[in-house]
Amino acid sequence: NGTPVTLEAEKMILQNTGTGEAWPLQVSEAAWASNGKFVNAMNAGDSVVLYYTAEKAGTYEATLSYRSGDTNNSMSWTEKDGKIAEGSLDSVEAEENATTTHTVKLTWKVETPGAGAVTFLAGAKNAPQLDKFDVVLVEEKTDVPEVNKEALAEAIAKAEEEAAKTDVYTAESIAALEEAIADAKEVYGDESAEQEQVDAQVADLEAAIEVLVKLPEPPQTYTITASAGEGGTITPSGEVTVNVGEAQTFTIKADEGWHIKEVIINGESVGAEETYTMEAAGTIEALFEKDAVEPEVPDKSALEAALKEAAEILAKTDKYTEESLKDYKAVVDEAQAVYDDPDATAEEIADAVQKLTDARDLLKEIDKEEPGTGDKPGTGTDKPDTGSDKPGTGSGNGADKAVQTGDNNSPILWIVVLAAACVAAGSVVIYRKKSK
């Protein structure tokens, strides 16, 4: 209550557990000491225990009266149940032979009121001579309401989730949010943080999330599949991506020697279009076909001439034998068939001409120099056996013709006839010679 209380050091419990047995821990008497006594020879490892009762939690100021011959003297204190916060005295004022009394103010933080026990432990360079502690409460600990950090924990988790959306927000706005997250985590881990600080961090996180800047949204698109058959192209082709609200025009071009047959849109023909514009997803297919080529008409003039020549030859029945003309006529008919065929090839026409030539060369002429013709001996009109009076060959019609019997086949008869013919022939020859 602001009134100092004196705690005499010699009334503490001494624990001689340290070094320096030549000077064991003890209570000594001296005129300079309060109540004439002090704790002496507190060597390294020695300790004294103060049993106390603190009516209130709070900060206490303890003024220690002591003497020391070494500025390196030190000591630390702890409360066995943690009711008083740990602390230490790291150095002291001193002079040779410890002839002067000094004081130092120590701060004891009582976390929990009530009875307890504080142990003071000498440091490595021993502790000073302890006379007394004048203790006074300087600040009473007030009841602080428990700080609720659940909302802050939730806010941090949400902020981290949003900060991970690098495909949604700009890098700059995410960086600002990450700074707010770092500050919030620091407050969350601070045991002494008050509710007001916690709430402020929650608000900061919410504000940082609120101002996150979204990346521009990619435009919505649709896809058109464009293809072309053999004989031409379509531009563009393949999987064509188009922004929604925009149209795509395709150009169709046929290769040389081809033409556009038709353009198929989603399975339906729209005709032979050179360009076509689509405004929605679907398919476009361009089909082509070859240009019609007029077949080259083979030249039949040579065959025509050969056929004309053949017609003239066929009319010369008095020049060529009937049999050879017949064979020739067959070749002419084949050649005429080729000439009349509109689909006849140049090779077939040339072959027909050649066959006509070959067949012409095979024609046989009639032999007009046979015996019994002309003025040569034996070829006159009076040739035996050819006259009108030839036995059995009269000029009458069939009604006057003698009926032949088996006697005509007699060898003797034919011998007689042959002999008579020879005589007649000889007479003719003799007569002609005489005439000359």
* Burial of 408 (C-beta count, 10 Å sphere; 0-12/13-18/19+): exposed
The closest of 129, 36, 4 to 75, measured between CA atoms, is 129
pTM exceeds 0.85, yes or no: no
Give the CATH fold of the 5-140 domain. Answer: Jelly Rolls (2.60.120)
**pLDDT at site 3:** 83
3-class DSSP assignment, residue 416: helix
Compute mean pLDDT per 10 residues along the chain, 436 residues long, and list them: 87 89 92 96 95 93 97 96 96 96 96 95 96 94 82 96 95 96 95 93 96 91 97 97 96 96 97 96 97 85 94 93 93 95 93 94 83 46 43 38 37 40 38 36
- Taking only Cα atoms into account, the Rg of the chain, rounded to an integer number of angstroms, comes to 74
Half-sphere exposure of 88 (CA within 13 A, CB side): 11
* Burial of 65 (C-beta count, 10 Å sphere; 0-12/13-18/19+): buried
Instruction: Count the Cβ atoms, other than its own, within 10 Å of residue 326.
Output: 11
The closest of 223, 228, 224, 222 to 285, measured between CA atoms, is 228
Nearest 5°: phi and psi at 265? -110, 115
* Burial of 181 (C-beta count, 10 Å sphere; 0-12/13-18/19+): buried
**pLDDT at site 370:** 53
Task: Tell me how far the alpha carbon of residue 377 is from its chain's centroid.
Answer: 110
**Tally: H helices and E strands in the chain:** 7, 19
Per-residue DSSP letters for 66-105? Answer: EE-S-TT--EEEEETTSSB--EEE------TT--S-EEEE
Cα(327)–Cα(329) distance, integer angstroms: 5
The closest of 373, 377, 389, 370 to 430, measured between CA atoms, is 377
**pLDDT at site 347:** 94
- Going from N- to C-terminal start, the domains of the chain cover 5-140, 150-210, 221-290, 301-361, 369-436
Task: Tell me how far the alpha carbon of residue 261 is from its chain's centroid.
Answer: 33
